[in-house]
Amino acid sequence: MTRNAKCPFDPPGDLSRIRDVSPLSRMKYPSGHVGWLATGRATVRSVLADSRFSARTELMNLPTPGATSAQPPPAEPGDFTGMDDPRHSRYRRLLTGQFTVRRMRTLTDRIEQITAQQLAEMDRTGPVVDLVQAFARPIPALMICELLGVPYDQREIFQHDAELITGSSDPTEELYAAYGRLQEFLRNLVLAKRAEPSDDILSGLVTSDLTDEELATIAVVLLGAGLGTTMNMLTMGTLAILQQPEQFEAMRENTDQAVEELLRYLTIVPFLVRVALEDVELDGHEIKAGETVTLSLQAANRDPAQFTAPDVLDVQRQSSGHVAFGHGVHQCLGQQLARIEMRVALRGLVDRFPDMRLAVPFEDLRVRADSLIFDVHELPVILR
């Protein structure tokens, strides 16, 4: 499905047309499997809240173009995103216990400090900067370092490889090498935390019964979930409000509300996948055991049954009820931290540079062709 070049923030128009006919439709997958596509918000939430639908990766047929073979392998120990209960809940409980109020308060202070540092550096470097390199990428990268407890003298190496693997989906030799180095780095980091714990999530988990392998994989999962997505939200969120100056000003008045609307409007994670474990009746259809259901979060967050004028960005709207972080037992574990990062960073940006604008015409931005969503390589802006 292709996007409308004139409205690149919108999901492919075919998704809306399919949803208007039925919130649940038949879909043939690249592997040849015939499953389903859910586009209605209520339908998507129903599947995500129903334990009869599995998140196990080895049961899935993937909807992406290159997935022409059989189902992927099982999730590695520690990758709770590809597991069902009770394995999923074991990891989830341990991790939920680490996202304490005290830790969120501490991380909020660090986000404010890191954001202030990046904005000051932009001020010194300007008047023209690439917002991706100067703002959207370093802030979540440094926050992942804080979350995992990466030592200061090792952060530059860690950030380089982390940004490399989250910045491209092309399976190049450089990418594989970076992933291998990152896994080795995280394994050594786990050993260091066992020997000398500090105040971070990995240190909080080393006293559990998790193995070194499980802990390293959990670190990779947290990295993948917290770096690329937040970076993209900061980039595309800024670009979206720059296209509508009235939204830019409104964001300064109510940043919390604006962040929720940007999450709904952009929907950085475009889809999730589930598999029926038994026959399930849904929306007048019978989903057979073993059939894959792709859940279009993009289409669900633009469902007119839930949101008035859903294709309009309105940072003053009440956007509660969106599924940008998923729903049910697998709902994003770090969603509150992601919200805090976006609120602090975007509010700081619009306060510091209220006259900021694009440095090039919108149509001249270099779009990332390998991305599942609308994304750009650079975002040059004039700060004042």
Q: Tokens at residue 212, please?
A: 């070194």
pTM score, two decimals? Answer: 0.94
Q: Give the bridge partners for 36, in sequence order.
A: 26, 293
How high is the pLDDT of residue 195? 95
Residue with tokens 């090498």, as numbered in its chain: 177
pLDDT band at 167 (very low <50, low <70, confident <90, very high): low
Q: What are the distances in angstroms from CA 204 to CA 103, 106, 185?
A: 11, 15, 18
Task: Please state, in angstroms and rounded to a whole number, the distance separating the CA atoms of residues 8 and 367.
Answer: 10
The predicted model gives 146-160 an average pLDDT of 89
pLDDT in tens, 70-93: 678 899 999 999 999 999 999 999
Instruction: Give me the amino acid identity at 228.
Output: G
Task: Please state, in angstroms and rounded to a whole number, the distance separating the CA atoms of residues 290 and 34.
Answer: 10
Q: Tokens at residue 217, please?
A: 């994989």
pLDDT in tens, 101-122: 889 999 999 999 999 999 999 9
Dihedral sign computed on CA atoms, order 305, 321, 135, 201: negative
Q: Is the pLDDT of residue 6 over 70?
A: yes
Torsion angle defined by CA atoms of residues 38, 41, 43 and 44, in that order, rounded to the nearest 10 degrees? 60
Q: Is the pLDDT of residue 15 over 80?
A: yes
How high is the pLDDT of residue 367? 85
Q: Is the pLDDT of residue 141 over 70?
A: yes
Task: Please state, in angstroms and rounded to a whole number, the distance separating the CA atoms of residues 321 and 307.
Answer: 9
Task: Please state, in angstroms and rounded to a whole number, the distance separating the CA atoms of residues 229 and 144.
Answer: 12
Please name which of 384, 348, 299, 375 lies closest in space to residue 41, comparing C-alpha atoms.
299
Query: In the chain, what percentage of residues exceed pLDDT 70?
Result: 97
Q: Tokens at residue 365, please?
A: 């931005």
Q: How far is CA 353 from the centre of its chain?
A: 26
pLDDT band at 67 (very low <50, low <70, confident <90, very high): confident
Task: Please state, in angstroms and rounded to a whole number, the distance separating the CA atoms of residues 290 and 37.
Answer: 14
How high is the pLDDT of residue 70? 65
Across the chain, what does the average pLDDT equal? 92
Domain limits, the chain: 13-382
pLDDT band at 136 (very low <50, low <70, confident <90, very high): very high
Q: Which H or E run contains 164?
A: helix 155-166
Q: DSSP state, 72?
A: P
Dihedral sign computed on CA atoms, order 5, 7, 8, 12: negative
How high is the pLDDT of residue 39? 98
CATH 3.20.20.70 fits 13-382, yes or no: no
* Cis peptide preceding 11, ω within 30 of 0: no
pLDDT band at 162 (very low <50, low <70, confident <90, very high): confident
pLDDT in tens, 169-209: 566 788 888 888 988 999 999 999 999 999 999 999 999 99
Q: What are the distances in angstroms from CA 14 to CA 179, 207, 272, 375?
A: 35, 50, 18, 20
How high is the pLDDT of residue 225? 86
For the ranges 54-63, 108-117, 248-257, the lowest mean pLDDT is seen at: 248-257
Q: Is the pLDDT of residue 43 over 90?
A: yes
Instruction: Give me the amino acid identity at 347.
Output: R
How high is the pLDDT of residue 370? 64
Long-range contacts of 361-367 (CB under 8 A, 24+ apart): 362/243, 365/239, 367/8
Is residue 234 within 8 A of residue 343, CB to CB? The reply is no
